[in-house]
Chains A and B, each alone.
Chain A
Amino acid sequence: MAKTLAQEFSKGLWEELPPFRLVLGLCPTLAVTKSVENGLGMGIATTFVLVCSNLLVSLLRNVIPAKIRIACYIIIIATFVTVVELLMQAYAYPLYLELGIFIPLIVVNCIVLGRAEAFASKNAPVYSVADGLGIGVGFTLSLGALGAVREVLGEGTFYGMQVFGSSFEPFTFMVEAPGAFVCLGLMLCLINLAGNR
């Protein structure tokens, strides 16, 4: 193996940082980043699914027939999504209600299926877990950052705490759908600027 474990992990943080570098998984990115808390919660749930499904796909990579591999991956992913769904219902119910439909929709998050197909199906379990963890952490941080920008500007709070004085007029555009698109577009532009140096 040419790359070390640390390299597999760290590429998810910048080189292949989702959703900016790989333009995948945009729906949850736009939908749940109304606040930092929601963004991080969604990121952690996705990371869990990514790591578990990468591990299982990698362990089974020599057993799954090539022709029906996508169907097998989807079932593996759906199983872990159900696990996350039930866990969140039990231990994080308010967050579960807040994220709503987007928890079951982790199944169709292209990042998860993309990593299973592009990485875990070809690499050893340890590396696949490192890859899943790296991409997951990168995704969580991206969602957290986007959530922070939108929450601070749109609500005037950060993680529920007041940032500005009471005279601050919240810029509600940012927490609505149009704000999500514009904000993500501008952040992508900034990342491009930083990356092209």
Chain B
Amino acid sequence: MGDIFVLIISCIFINNIVLAQYLGNCPFLGTSKKMETAVGMSMAVIFVLTMAGVITWIVDTYFLVGLGIEFLRTIAFILVIASLVQFVEMFLKKSIPALYAGLGIFLPLITTNCAVMGVCLINVQEEYTFVEALISSIAYAVGFGLALVLFAGLRERINIGRVPKPLQDTSIGLVTAGIISLAFFAFKGMV
């Protein structure tokens, strides 16, 4: 039980997917201008990443390693993620229209979110067990959401202030992200 707790803390804070592992930066900067879109994107990522992490783990363990074709991992994983996103989109549209309306536009973007692919690869590289892979997928996704929502709040505030022209938008955004990253850096010594 203690190990699982350490894994959760380490995935959310210490090895935060955006701020310490440099993954998923495009949506991090792209969808953080408004709090609303940031929350929508976070929810979509938590939803898809949990499923993708579990499914790619199963595909890798029973199919790729079983047949000795690990070199096809990149292709297999991206196919799983792309079709999963497509499938989730169709399923939500038919069955849960309310949720689809909320997540709708963010779903297609997730295919090229390297956080998803990255976590799937980390899960198999670290040789996690099934439960560990499940927990780490959820925790990394929550970490992504946390970073994104924090960042969106700061960016909304910064946009009210007066920023020198060349620094505007992405530039000041990156510097802000650097400062949040510095704050998260303090967690390094925790475990």
Q: How many residues of A contact B (CB 8 A)?
A: 42
Contact A81 B74 (CB under 8 A): yes
Q: Which residues of B contact A26 (CB under 8 A)?
A: 25-26, 29
Given contacts A105-B117, A177-B20, contact A188 B170 (CB under 8 A): yes
Question: A193 with B26: in contact, given A101-B122, A177-B181, A182-B174 (CB under 8 Å)?
Answer: no
The docked-state distance in angstroms from the alpha carbon of A79 to that of B76 is: 10
> Are B174 and A108 in contact (CB-based, < 8 A)?
no
Cβ B22 vs Cβ A31 within 8 A: yes
1/0 contact string of A173-197 vs chain B (CB within 8 Å)? 0001111111111101110110010
Chain A residues with CB under 8 Å of B125's CB are 101
Chain B positions 148-191 with a Cβ under 8 Å from a chain A Cβ: 165-168, 170-175, 177-179, 181-182, 185
Bound form: Cα–Cα A38–B20 in Å: 18
Q: Are B181 and A27 in contact (CB under 8 A)?
A: no
**Contact between A27 and B22, CB atoms less than 8 A apart:** yes
**A66 near B: Cβ within 8 Å?**
no
Which single residue of chain B is at the shortest CB-CB distance from A84?
B74
Identify the interface centre among A101, A176, A178, A182: most chain B CB within 10 Å of its CB. A178
A104 within 8 A of B: yes
Residues of B within 8 A of A25 (CB): 26
Which residues of B have CB within 8 Å of A193? Answer: 166
How distant is the Cα of A30 from the Cα of B177 in the complex, in angstroms? 12
**B174→A82 contact, CB < 8 A:** no
Given A178-B179, A184-B174, the answer on whether A101 and B79 have CB atoms closer than 8 Å is no
0 or 1 for each of A59-87: is its CB under 8 Å from B? (1 = yes): 00000000000110011001101100110
Q: Are A185 and B112 closer than 8 Å at their CB atoms?
A: no
Determine if A113 is an interface residue (Cβ-Cβ < 8 Å): yes
CB-nearest residue of chain B to A183: B178
Residues in A whose Cβ lies below 8 Å from that of B182: 178
**Bound CA–CA A123/B182 (angstroms):** 44
A113–B26 Cα gap in the complex (Å)?
A: 13
In the complex, are the beta carbons of A30 and B26 less than 8 A apart? Answer: no
Contacts of A192 in B (CB 8 A): 165-168, 171
For A24, A27, A180, A184, the residue with the greatest tally of chain B CB atoms inside 10 Å of its CB is A27
With beta carbons under 8 angstroms apart, the residue of B79, B116, B167 that contacts A189 is B167
Residues of B within 8 A of A85 (CB): 71, 74
Q: Across the interface, name the chain A residue whose C-beta is closest to B185.
A: A178
CB of A137 within 8 Å of the partner chain:
no
Report chain B residues within 8 Å CB of A81. 74
Closest beta carbon of chain A to B34's beta carbon, Å: 17
Contacts of A182 in B (CB 8 A): 174-175, 178-179
- A81 vs B167: C-alpha distance in the bound complex, in angstroms? 35
Asked if B9 is at the interface of the complex by the 8 Å CB criterion, the answer is no
- Given A30-B22, A71-B82, A182-B175, output 5 extra A-B contacts at Cβ < 8 Å: A23-B26, A78-B74, A85-B71, A105-B117, A181-B175
17 A-B pairs whose Cβ atoms sit less than 8 Å apart in the complex: A25-B26, A70-B111, A74-B111, A78-B74, A78-B78, A101-B121, A101-B122, A104-B117, A105-B117, A178-B178, A179-B178, A180-B178, A181-B175, A181-B178, A182-B179, A185-B170, A188-B170
Residues of B in contact with A (beta carbons under 8 Å apart)? 19-26, 29, 71-75, 77-79, 82, 111-114, 116-118, 121-122, 125, 165-168, 170-175, 177-179, 181-182, 185
Closest 4 CB pairs of A and B: A185-B174, A181-B178, A182-B178, A31-B22
